[in-house]
Amino acid sequence: MPPDEMALGFDDGFRLAVRLVEDEELSPEALPLLRMIDEVFCEMTEDATPVDRWTIDALSTDAGWERARRLARDVLAVEGETDAQPPDASMVC
């Protein structure tokens, strides 16, 4: 999956987050972390630097992608998924 598609997929799921909290399918503590991931992707989209943050190489070198992974691990921890980890950047594509 290309990096931009991962961010778009997150965006689709993020739109459901409030409903999932209301339905008690997602911890309320996860919502602020998910909002931070959304902010990371928004910042990456709005960034006007010449570096292309939406390449496969950027997954393992870009600070924004690293921050998104760290926040995703925090979401998993809040949800009690201590054994689950987001895939390593080199395994994504």
pLDDT in tens, 39-61: 999 999 998 776 788 899 999 99
Total-model pTM: 0.84
8 Å CB contact between 5 and 35:
no
- CA–CA distance, 89 with 83 (Å, rounded to integer): 18
- CA–CA distance, 75 with 77 (Å, rounded to integer): 5
Where exactly are the structural domains of the chain?
3-91
pLDDT in tens, 61-71: 999 999 999 99
Q: How far is CA 64 from the centre of its chain?
A: 10
**Is the predicted pLDDT of residue 28 greater than 60, yes or no?**
yes
